[in-house]
């Protein structure tokens, strides 16, 4: 299956390249997305490292002066009507040398330091010129990656406990996750907003797979109220309607510091500050997001100071932190092997996005049940790092079997494996390349 799968993944990435960036999907997501660019670069590095660097560079060229890296960078050649909420809705002012309406104001999980390090690692097998370019690109990215981390750990530490808060479910990357239900139920839902701003996703995707209108009205409200305050993060906890600490987002934030410590050594900076920050973030995740009673990691609503009752795949992601204490590693393994997530040993499928045994588990609606490749890729990395090579390998082969059987879909039915959402989805294709190439759990664990 390898050659056929490899070629089909390369074809997806060829088809989704647009001048200086990759689109996640031509129809559903016609601009550049932040954490998509990171996952994409990791796989693209095998076949076209120049494009992998270009994609990361395009994204960071749109970094705001305060350090935030926008969750969408808009392609000015795409008509406003092709995506909602588009550039006019966000109405972001001009900044640095960039014209107005160039991006959104939200962020996504900071996967980019991890991606930059992975692209750099792969570059050594592409010859001297490529290795030279990789070192230069790392040097260009390093200060920008540091500013991204500083924005998140300083301006977004609304809870004051050393973690970054998300101010919109879209920032988590797991947009429609049940992890947000409790906090979202307190956000005003004005359906009139949807009459003013028409959804576009329902024209290109099945309504049963997408968020409901009520959810969407709340999504729009959160952006409108953030916009009214000039997208300022001042006094977020008191003034914003949704302020939540996500275990997935913060695990990536911590793992980014680990990657930055490796990058720092290459570019001649001090790795120890990043190692210290990684340790501090890991400690804060355990202090603030660990639920002793259920032995799981949960999202914390900063406004109510409560943990979400939902058991979501993001609760497994602290496993990517090398410094996670062993008792928490064991607890994550127990949860991942349980019928709630059922590592492939039991189900033959990668883990779903939400607890299979929950009454509101929904196999079709996105992030409320379906299988996603990117979070499974992260989980595999965590398994490899913490010394579970058999599970890591099982997860790798189950992902490849799934994509081979169903295609490079955005997500997959958690019982049948059927592809759902956008076909020809870039991060599925890119991470498939990585999973095909990276067979060695041992090498992954050592170099990772």
| Residue 402: CB minimum distance to ligand GLC, A | 18
| Residue 436: CB minimum distance to ligand GLC, A | 21
| Residue 294: CB minimum distance to ligand GLC, A | 25
Nearest residue (CB) to ligand GLC, 49 versus 85: 85
| Residue 35: CB minimum distance to ligand GLC, A | 6
| Residue 123: CB minimum distance to ligand GLC, A | 25
| Residues designated as active site | 175, 410
- CA dist., res. 43 & res. 408, Å (int): 13
- CA dist., res. 155 & res. 68, Å (int): 10
Q: How far is CA 196 from CA 103, 104, 168, 330, in A?
A: 21, 19, 20, 49
Nearest residue (CB) to ligand GLC, 31 versus 381: 31
- CA dist., res. 218 & res. 146, Å (int): 32
On the 0-12 / 13-18 / 19+ scale of CB atoms within 10 A, 167 is: buried
The single residue listed with the structure tokens 């980014």 is 256
- CA dist., res. 395 & res. 203, Å (int): 34
Provide CB contacts within 8 A for 183, sequence distance 6+.
Answer: 242, 244, 299, 301, 303, 304, 308
- Tokens coding 418: 């059927």
Nearest residue (CB) to ligand GLC, 35 versus 197: 35
Residue 61 C-beta-side C-alpha neighbours within 13 Å: 16
Helix (H) or strand (E) holding 245: strand 244-245
Nearest to 399 by CA among 388, 412, 387: 412
Nearest residue (CB) to ligand GLC, 248 versus 448: 248
Rg (CA), the chain: 20
| Residue 378: CB minimum distance to ligand GLC, A | 13
Contact footprint for ligand GLC (CB under 6 A): 24, 29, 33, 35-36, 173, 175
Nearest residue (CB) to ligand GLC, 67 versus 109: 109
Point out which residues pair with 296 in neighbouring strands: 291
What DSSP string runs through 156-189? T-TTSSS-PPBSSHHHHS-TT-GGGHHHHTTS--
Number of H helices, E strands in the chain: 20, 11
On the 0-12 / 13-18 / 19+ scale of CB atoms within 10 A, 338 is: middle
405 φ, ψ (degrees, to nearest 5): -75, -35
Measured at CB, which residue is nearest to ligand GLC? 24
Nearest to 79 by CA among 207, 223, 200: 200
Nearest residue (CB) to ligand GLC, 33 versus 226: 33
| Residue 201: CB minimum distance to ligand GLC, A | 9
Nearest residue (CB) to ligand GLC, 16 versus 63: 16
């Amino acid at each position: 299956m390898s050659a056929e799968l490899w070629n089909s993944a390369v074809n997806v990435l060829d088809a989704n390249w647009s001048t200086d960036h990759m689109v996640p999907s031509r129809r559903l997501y016609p601009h550049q997305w932040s954490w998509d660019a990171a996952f994409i670069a990791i796989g693209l590095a095998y076949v076209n490292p120049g494009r992998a660097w270009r994609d990361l560079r395009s994204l960071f060229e749109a970094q705001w002066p305060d350090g935030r890296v926008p969750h969408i960078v808009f392609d000015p050649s795409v008509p406003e009507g092709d995506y909602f909420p588009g550039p006019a809705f966000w109405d972001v002012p001009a900044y640095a040398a960039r014209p107005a309406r160039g991006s959104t104001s939200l962020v996504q999980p900071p996967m980019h330091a991890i991606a930059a390090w992975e692209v750099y690692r792969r570059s050594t097998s592409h010859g001297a010129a490529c290795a030279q370019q990789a070192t230069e690109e790392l040097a260009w990215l390093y200060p920008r990656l540091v500013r991204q981390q500083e924005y998140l750990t300083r301006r977004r530490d609304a809870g004051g406990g050393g973690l970054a808060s998300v101010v919109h479910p879209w920032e988590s990357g797991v947009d429609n996750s049940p992890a947000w239900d409790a906090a979202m139920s307190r956000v005003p839902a004005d359906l009139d907003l949807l009459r003013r701003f028409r959804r576009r996703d329902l024209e290109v995707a099945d309504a049963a797979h997408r968020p409901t209108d009520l959810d969407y009205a709340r999504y729009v409200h959160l952006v409108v109220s953030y916009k009214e305050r000039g997208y300022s993060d001042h006094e977020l906890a008191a003034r914003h309607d949704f302020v939540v600490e996500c275990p997935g987002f913060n695990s990536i934030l911590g793992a980014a510091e680990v990657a930055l410590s490796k990058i720092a050594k290459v570019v001649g900076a001090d790795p120890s500050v990043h190692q210290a920050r990684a340790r501090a973030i890991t400690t804060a995740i355990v202090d603030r997001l660990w639920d002793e009673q259920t032995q799981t990691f949960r999202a914390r609503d900063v406004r109510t100071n409560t943990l979400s009752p939902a058991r979501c795949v993001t609760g497994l992601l602290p496993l990517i932190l090398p410094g996670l204490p062993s008792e928490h590693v064991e607890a994550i393994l127990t949860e991942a092997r349980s019928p709630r997530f059922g590592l492939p040993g039991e189900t033959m499928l990668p883990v779903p996005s939400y607890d299979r045994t929950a009454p509101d588990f929904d196999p079709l609606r996105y992030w409320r049940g379906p299988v996603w490749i990117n979070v499974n890729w992260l989980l595999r990395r965590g398994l490899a790092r913490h010394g579970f090579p058999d599970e890591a390998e099982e997860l790798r082969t189950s992902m490849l079997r799934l994509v081979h059987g169903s295609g490079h879909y955005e997500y997959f039915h958690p019982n049948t494996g059927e592809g759902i959402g956008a076909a020809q989805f870039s991060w599925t294709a890119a991470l498939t390349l990585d999973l095909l190439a990276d067979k060695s759990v041992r090498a992954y664990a050592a170099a990772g």
